[in-house]
Every structure is written in structure tokens, then in C-alpha cells.
Amino acid sequence: MTIAPEQDRLNAQIAFAIEIDKLKRVIRRNNLMDDSRRENDAEHSWYVALLAMVLGEHAPPGTDIQRVVAMLLVHDLVEIDAGDTFIYDPVAVAAQEAAEKAAADRIFAMLPAPQGQELRALWDEFEERATPEAVFAKALDRFAPILANHHNEGGTWRLHAVTASQVMQKVKIIEEGSPSLGAYARELVELSVTRGHLAP
Amino acid sequence: MTIAPEQDRLNAQIAFAIEIDKLKRVIRRNNLMDDSRRENDAEHSWYVALLAMVLGEHAPPGTDIQRVVAMLLVHDLVEIDAGDTFIYDPVAVAAQEAAEKAAADRIFAMLPAPQGQELRALWDEFEERATPEAVFAKALDRFAPILANHHNEGGTWRLHAVTASQVMQKVKIIEEGSPSLGAYARELVELSVTRGHLAP
């Protein structure tokens, strides 16, 4: 590589900064905790990054929480191009993979080298769940909507006729990242079934 | 202090997690980059935290960027109670200080010890701009709306009749955190004046 002049690096970073503002307009399936509207990807990314700081002690010892935070800050950027996927729609999930990889190719390449590759590697790590940090990050990404849907008396689950056994597949992903958060999520799901907010 | 049982710690952390969701409903003055709507505090917090990762090389050598990221993730939580303050309204800014301290007392105290105190200390550090990390974090907090308003052909500046000399006071805060970002912000402000999007 050639070393770009400092101003070129900054210009590329600013172009990236303008581009990623679009994440604020990618709308997710779940609602806010007060059920007032659907959540967007940018505020979700803030939320799970801060959850990592707050709930970090529930990760396996030795997990690098600052790396988890960084991963969660970039984990949804590909949805600027690929859109949000409803995790309970298996057809959409399968089709999404190629679209997200193409998005990652485009978006992270806006940054100067080697910064673009470094952030892309963080995203790849998250997707592959290949490290304790990625496993914990993915657990938080699954934990947040379960907390919101439980709080919203079923929320998206009721709207899309999701069943407890489907949600329990996501609880397994949480358990893999954190036994205590997994147990907590399992209790929330069971409580939602008991209260009639989630089909068994 | 007494050591709370693990379940009590987690329950307190979850109560905090439910509480901070409210940050998504605190609305700021500036619009998104596409001018479609006003920005909220949660998505703004994500944005500046990620900016810290992307623009970290423009901070003074030795600045701990992971600490800057953590600081920016919590920097606006007090606005859940105290609301957003328009930084060009000096009367509101003065009245805000006591309200924000009371909010910090309430919100961070929801967390178990010593975690609540640690996050509160991060917020105090940000407010006092007492460390290189806080100075850089505050610079990014000022940089983001200037970038958005420049991109929006004046945006909030036009709406509230803000002048270039007022914006230049904020540019000074950016320069203190990063000479290169300060110079960039100064250029944006001058360009906005030249284009008639900001009153001189």
C-alpha cells in the first residue's frame, strides 16, 4: 500500500462518517421498551454496546469487553445496504448472508487502510462467532430483543406469531455466551408463556 | 459495602437496562444527515462512540480511545431526566447543570456497587473535561452536529438563527481535543458561511 496523505485519510473517514448515519434509518422488528415505536439499528447498537459494559461480568472470565463493545458498535453497519432481517424468518436469514458480505465489502472499504480491514475483521469475527468476544456479543444481540418483547407483553412475538420453542433457539445462543444471562432469558420466556404473551 | 448476591446484582443491572432504553426517546436539536427527522440521544451516542473508533488517530498520542468510547456511551444518560439542552442557549445551559447532576445521582445509583460509581465517574470526567480522553470525547460530541448541520445546508443553525461566531466557540472545543478535526470543522463552518447556510 501507499501511505495516503493525512488529509486524504481524514476525508475518507468523514465520507464514512456521513455514510454510516444511514444506520439510524434502518428499522428493526422489535419496539422500544415503552412500545411507542419500532427500534432502529443505530440506537440498538448503542444499547447493546452499553449492555456489554454493564453486563460484562456475566461473560466468561478473560473476555475482552472493550473488544465486545467495539464489535457491537459495527455489527449492524452492513444493514445499511442489506436491511434488517427478521431472525424468525429462516428463508430471509439464508438470503441475507450474501447481501451482508457485499455490504461489508463496500462500506468498510470506504475507510483508509488498514483501518477498513481492521473494522471488517471485527465484523467477520462477530458473524463467525469464532472467539469468546464474538460469542458474548452475539448473546447480547439476542438478549436485548427478548428483554424488550418480555417488557412489551409479547411485542413482536405476538405480532408475528412466534412461539416459545423458536425463542428458545435464541436463548441457546445467549447461554453459549453467558450461562447466567441465558438462565435469565429462559426465565423471561417461561414467564411470558405463563402470562399468555407468548405461544408455547 | 456488603456484597450483594449474584442474582441481586443481575436484577439491578437489568432494571438499569430497562431504564436506559428511555434515552431513545430524548430528542436532540439537530437532524439526521438526510434531514428526515431530528436525532435522538441513543443513536447520537452510538454515532459519536463509533466516531471515536474511526477518528481516534486524530486525538493526541497516548489518548485511550477505548475509554473515550465508554465515556461517549454514557455521556447523555442524564438527559433521560434532564432533557436535551440546546448548546446555543446560555440560560438553558446554566440551569441544566443541577438537573443533570441530580439525574446522574439517580440513574447511576441503580447499578450495584462499585459499578454504578465507576460509570458515574466516567460521566463526571466527561463533564469536567479533566483528562485527554474527556477533552477528545467532548470534541467529538461537538463535531458530530457541525458535520450534520453542514451536510444539511445549515440545518439547525438556520432554524434557530445561530451565527458563525457562535459555532466557532464550539470549534474551539473541537480544536482543544484534536487540532486536525478542529481545522476541519473550521473549514466546514467557513464553507457554510460562503454558501449562505450560516449567518456570519
Q: What is the tens place of the pLDDT at every residue in B104-158? A: 999 999 999 999 999 999 999 999 999 999 999 999 999 999 999 999 999 889 8
Task: For residue A57, give the chain B residue with the closest CA.
Answer: B10
Rg (CA), chain B: 18
Q: Which three cell numbers stand for residue A91?
A: 428463508
In a domain, B1, yes or no: no
Nearest to A42 among B47, B57, B151 (CB): B47
Rounded to a whole number, what is the distance in Å from the CA of A50 to chain B's nearest CA?
Answer: 6
Percent of chain B at pLDDT above 90? 86
In a domain, B200, yes or no: no
Q: How far apart are CA A94 and CA B194, in angstroms?
A: 50
Contacts of A174 (CB under 8 A, 6+ apart): A139, A142, A143, A146, A181, A182, A185
Whether residue B145 has a cis bond before it, omega within 30° of 0: no
Considering chain A, what is the average pLDDT of its residues?
A: 94
Mean pLDDT along residues B189-196: 96
- pLDDT recorded at residue B95: 82
Asked casually if ipTM beats, i.e. exceeds, 0.85, the reply is yes
CA distances from A146 to A33, A140, A163, A188, B152 (A): 11, 10, 12, 8, 37
Mean pLDDT along residues B161-179: 97
In a domain, A12, yes or no: yes
A53 touches chain B (CB under 8 A): yes
In a domain, A199, yes or no: no
pLDDT over 90 at A21, yes or no: yes
Rounded to a whole number, what is the distance in Å from the CA of A90 to chain B's nearest CA?
Answer: 28
- Structural domain span for residue A109: 7-194
Percent of chain B at pLDDT above 70? 98
Please state the pTM of the whole predicted model. Answer: 0.95
A34 touches chain B (CB under 8 A): yes
A51 touches chain B (CB under 8 A): yes
- pLDDT recorded at residue B159: 87
Q: What is the pLDDT of residues B75-94, one digit of tens each?
A: 999 999 999 887 778 888 87
DSSP A96: H
In a domain, A2, yes or no: no
From the list B152, B176, B146, the residue with the least C-alpha distance to B164 is B146
pLDDT band at B3 (very low <50, low <70, confident <90, very high): very low
In a domain, B2, yes or no: no
Considering chain B, what is the average pLDDT of its residues?
A: 94
Rounded to a whole number, what is the distance in Å from the CA of A97 to chain B's nearest CA?
Answer: 24
Q: What is the pLDDT of residues A34-57, one digit of tens each?
A: 999 999 999 999 999 999 999 999
On whether the CB atoms of residues B170 and B186 are closer than 8 A, the answer is: no
In a domain, A122, yes or no: yes
Burial grade of B131 (CB within 10 A; 0-12, 13-18, 19 or more): middle
- pLDDT recorded at residue B136: 98
- pLDDT recorded at residue A190: 97
pLDDT over 70 at B1, yes or no: no
CA distances from B101 to B81, B82, B124, B137, B173 (A): 10, 9, 9, 19, 22
Q: What is the CATH number of the domain that holds A147?
A: 1.10.3210.10
Indicate the number of domains in chain A. 1
- Using an 8 Å CB-CB cutoff, list chain A residues near B49: 46, 49, 73
Rounded to a whole number, what is the distance in Å from the CA of B199 to chain A's nearest CA?
Answer: 24
Q: Which three cell numbers stand for residue A9?
A: 485519510
- pLDDT recorded at residue A183: 97
- Report CB contact under 8 Å: A22, B34: yes
The one-letter amino acid at A161:
A
Name the β-bridge partners of A39.
Answer: none
pLDDT band at B5 (very low <50, low <70, confident <90, very high): low
pLDDT band at A120 (very low <50, low <70, confident <90, very high): very high
From the list B86, B77, B78, the residue with the least C-alpha distance to B102 is B78
- B27-31 and A38-40 strand pairing: unpaired
Q: Which three cell numbers stand for residue A176?
A: 453459549
pLDDT band at A88 (very low <50, low <70, confident <90, very high): confident
- Report CB contact under 8 Å: B39, A51: no
